[in-house]
Amino acid sequence: MPRSGRMNVEAYAAQAAREIHGYKTEPWSLKGAQILNLHYEIDNDTIDDLLPVTMRPSIPAWGVFNVTRYPESPVGPFTIGEVRIGSRAGVRPRGFVLRSYVDSDAAVRELAQRWGYPTVRGEIYLRAFHDRVVARVADGSGRNVLDMEMIDREPISGADVQYNSSMHLARNQEDGKLVLVQVDPEWVFHKAERGRPHIISLDSQAWAAGNMLRADYPISATFCTCDVTLGRIRYICDPTKDAFQGTTKVAA
């Protein structure tokens, strides 16, 4: 039968999940975001252990290595660095967020409480040069946990770029239960480029992945400028059940 996730969600939650305060946040409109997104094939043998049973690994196994700078937000400018596992919830493509490093205390708090992002304080560097776009993510102690770049920038159409919705494991403040929260951002593209992806270094443990996360094979890289809307939460899932059985609609 088809593969599905087999993550020990309690063990993962103990190190990465944050508390979400209900599912009633208002949307955030985030203008002029700069998004560096790398796709890499990752270790196929361990991907099932990096996903809750609700989700299924994509075939082949791939990850999204993302750094986004939001110059404007309700809590001021912030930059976020994430690793997501390419996966499916039911038949829908999703990215399961392992951890979100954020360089603003206010954004660390708000992203977790409103959308359940597994945030932690970090320092994020993102800079575009003519020959490449460079990003580095460091943890709270300043230690590099991800160092990556997109080489040979080439303009493309934003219509050729596909981002997927993400899912985060969070603990519901009300009942203390673990829940998978789906976030469906909307993107309006102003500028898009692609190039060759290159991950220079990656610290698997720093992404709450034990020794299981390994970037094996480069696929693609994009660097885009978009207006992003982080919308209301529409769906949550029980992380111990299949998505077909365990999905609950929380907003229209």
Partner 1 sequence: MKFGIFYEISVPRPWSRETEKRVFDNCLEQVALADELGFDSVWCVEHHFLEEYSHCSAPEIFLTACAMKTKKMRIGHGIVICVPEFNHPIKIAERTATMDIISGGRLEVGTGRSATWNELGGFRANPDETKKTWDEFVRCLPKMWTQERFGYQGRSWSMPVRAIIPKPYQKPHPPLWVAVTSPGTEIDAAERGIGALGITFGSFKEQEQKVKVYHNLIKNCEPVGSFVNEQVSTVNFLFTHEDTEIGNKVGRRLLGTFNFLAAQLSAARELYPTRSYPSLGLLPALRDQAAGPGDEAGVPEGIAIGNPDRVLHACKMWESVGVDRINFLLNALETVPQEQVLNSLRVFAKYVMPHFQDSSTQAAAAGGGR
Residue from 151, 156, 178, 250 touching partner 1 (CB under 8 A): that is 156
**CA–CA separation, 211 and 3 (whole Å):** 21
d(CA 236, CA 112): 15
Between CA 67 and CA 156 the distance in angstroms is 19
Q: Measured from the CB atom, is 128 or 156 closer to partner 1?
A: 156
Pick from 29, 90, 184, 250 the residue near partner 1 by CB under 8 A. 90
Size of the site for partner 1 (CB under 8 A): 29
Single out the residue of 60, 71, 74, 140 in contact with partner 1 (rule: CB under 8 A).
60
Q: Which of 31, 92, 132, 232 binds partner 1 (CB under 8 A)?
A: 92
User: What does DSSP assign to residue 60?
Assistant: S
**Using rule CB under 8 A, residue 211 touches partner 1:** no
Measured over the CA atoms of residue 198, residue 200, residue 206 and residue 212, the dihedral's sign is positive
Helix, strand or coil, per DSSP, at residue 206: helix
Task: Name the residue with tokens 């009633």.
Answer: 24
- Nearest by Cα to 124 from 64, 71, 79, 70: 79
Binding mask 96-135 for partner 1 (x = CB under 8 A): ----------------------------------------
222-241: contacts with partner 1 (CB under 8 A) = 222
Q: Does 91 bind partner 1 (CB under 8 A)?
A: yes
Question: Should residue 3 be labelled a site residue for partner 1 when binding is judged by CB under 8 A?
Answer: yes
Count Cα neighbours of 115 within 13 Å in the Cβ-side half-sphere: 26
* Binding status of residue 59 toward partner 1 by CB under 8 A: yes
In contact, 213 and 204? CB cutoff 8 Å: yes
In degrees rounded to 5, what are phi and psi of residue 170?
-140, 165
Rounded Cα distance between 246 and 13, Å, is 18
Per-residue contact flags (x/-) with partner 1 for residues 6 to 25, judged by CB under 8 A = --------------------
Element (H, E) at 81: strand 78-89
Does residue 165 belong to the site contacting partner 1 (CB under 8 A)? no
Contact yes or no for 78/123 (Cβ under 8 A): no
**Of 9-17, 59-67, 103-111, 118-126, which segment contacts partner 1 by CB under 8 A?**
59-67
Tell the smallest beta-carbon distance from residue 195 to partner 1 (Å).
10
Among 17, 30, 56, 108, binds partner 1 (CB under 8 A): 56
Using CB under 8 A as the criterion, which residues of the chain lie in contact with partner 1 when the complex forms?
A: 1-3, 39, 41, 56-60, 62, 86, 88, 90-93, 156-157, 160-162, 164, 192, 194, 217, 219-220, 222
